[in-house]
Amino acid sequence: MITRSKLVEQLRDYQVRSQHKWPPLAVFSPKPLLSTWSDVALAAFWAFIFIALLFSSYITLYLKHYWVSSIILCLGILVPIRLRILRQSLARKRDRRMMLPLSM
């Protein structure tokens, strides 16, 4: 059932997302929205780690160390996947908090 509080929360989320200033970094953020500079810095750190892993994978592939390259590439693929799982769990926690009864 749609309540007024859910509609207000969805509108607030939409307004915040429409003012999103760093959309390319949102993929590397553990939080759904980049609202503070610390969130942007953390997302930039994870983006740098991802790029460093991909670059080192290409270098090891060029040097014909195939196993090392494949391991590094798998680690590079796991970084965005792990961050997406973390974002989804934070969203679930936020939704659970919103489902508390009004009597509390």
pLDDT tens digits, 29-68:
877 777 778 888 888 899 999 999 999 999 999 999 999 9
Three-class SS string for 60-89? HHHCCCHHHHHHHHHHHHHHHHHHHHHHHH
Number of domains in the chain: 1
Predicted TM-score (pTM) of the model is 0.67
Contact 1, 23 (CB under 8 A): no
Q: Per the domain annotation, does 83 fall within a domain? A: yes
Which of residues 104 and 88 earns the better pLDDT score? 88
Contact 28, 83 (CB under 8 A): yes
Q: Per the domain annotation, does 26 fall within a domain? A: no
Q: Per the domain annotation, does 6 fall within a domain? A: no
Domain range for 51: 38-104
Confidence label for 13 from pLDDT (cuts 50, 70 and 90): confident
Q: Per the domain annotation, does 91 fall within a domain? A: yes
